[in-house]
A and B are shown apart, each in its own frame.
Chain A
Amino acid sequence: MAILEGKKFADERLLDSAGHILHAYYKAPQVSGRLDAKAVVVYGEELNPMLELIEKMDAKLEGAAKELFFPLYVDYQCVKQAIEKGYSPIMVILGADCAKANMSWDCGACGFPTCNEFNRYCKDNSSMGLAAVGPNCVWKGLDYGIACDYACAAAGELNVENRILSTFGLISSLLGYLDGTTNNLGLALGPSKEMWWYSRPSLAKWLDRDLYEGMMQKNYTNFFQMFSTKLNPRVKKDGAWWDEEPEISVAIQPDDDYAERQAEIQGVIMESVIEVRPQVEEMKEKLAKRTAVLDEKN
Chain B
Amino acid sequence: MKIITTTKRVKKDNTTIGGKMPKYHSNEFPWYAPSDQTRRDNAIQAAKLMMNAAFTAPTTGGVDHNECELLWGEEEQEELAGKMDELSHTMGNEKTQELYQVEAVMAREADCILLVGDTRSRNTPFDADCGFCGGAEGCAFLYSRRKTSMGQIDSTDQSLSQTPIDGPLCGAHVSNLGFSVGSALWMARNLMVDARPFMTMGVAAKKLGYCKKSALVVGIPIAATSKNPFVDVHFNYPAMNMRSVVDSARKSYIITRQFGLDYRLHSSKNFKKNSDNNKED
Contact = CB atoms under 8 A, between A and B. Distances in A.
B93 A106 contact: yes
A78 B171 CA distance: 27
B179 A29 contact: no
A89 interface: no
Contacts of A106: 93, 95-96, 163-164
Interface stretch (A133-141, A208-216, A236-244, A282-290): A133-141
B191 to A, nearest CB: 13
A153 B183 contact: yes
B43 interface: no
Contact of A139 (B57, B142, B179, B199): B199
Contacts of B167: 107-112, 138
A240 B74 CA distance: 67
Contacts of A146: 178-179, 181-182, 185, 197
A: contact size bracket: 35 or more
A129 B163 contact: no
A146 to B, nearest CB: 4
Nearest to A121: B134
B32 interface: no
Contacts of B172: 131
Nearest to A127: B135
A153 B56 CA distance: 11
Interface string B57-73: 11010000000000000
B130 A109 contact: no
A47 interface: no
B242 interface: no
Of the candidates B198, B215, B216, the one having the most CB atoms from chain A within 10 angstroms of its own CB is: B216
Given A108-B163, A145-B177, A145-B181, A138 B135 contact: no
Interface in B207-238: 215-216, 218
A130 interface: yes
Contacts of A29: 185, 195-197
Contact of B141 (A128, A134, A143, A164): A134
B181 A136 contact: no
B95 A145 contact: no
Contacts of A133: 131, 135
B171 A164 contact: no
A60 B135 CA distance: 26
A149 B178 contact: yes
Nearest to B118: A142
Residue among B171, B183, B185, B196 with the most chain A CB within 10 A?
A: B171
Contacts of A166: 60, 130
Interface of B: 57-58, 60, 93, 95-96, 99, 128-137, 141-142, 145, 161-169, 171-172, 174-183, 185-186, 195-199, 203, 215-216, 218
9 nearest A-B residue pairs (beta carbon): A129-B131, A145-B178, A108-B163, A149-B182, A111-B168, A127-B135, A109-B165, A146-B182, A131-B130
23 contacts: A98-B132, A107-B167, A108-B162, A109-B163, A109-B168, A110-B168, A127-B135, A129-B132, A132-B131, A132-B132, A134-B135, A135-B132, A135-B134, A135-B168, A139-B199, A141-B174, A142-B174, A142-B177, A143-B178, A148-B182, A152-B182, A153-B186, A183-B132
Given A133-B131, A135-B141, A145-B178, 19 more contacts: A29-B197, A103-B95, A104-B96, A107-B163, A107-B164, A107-B165, A108-B164, A108-B167, A109-B165, A111-B134, A127-B135, A129-B135, A130-B128, A131-B131, A134-B133, A135-B135, A136-B133, A146-B179, A149-B180
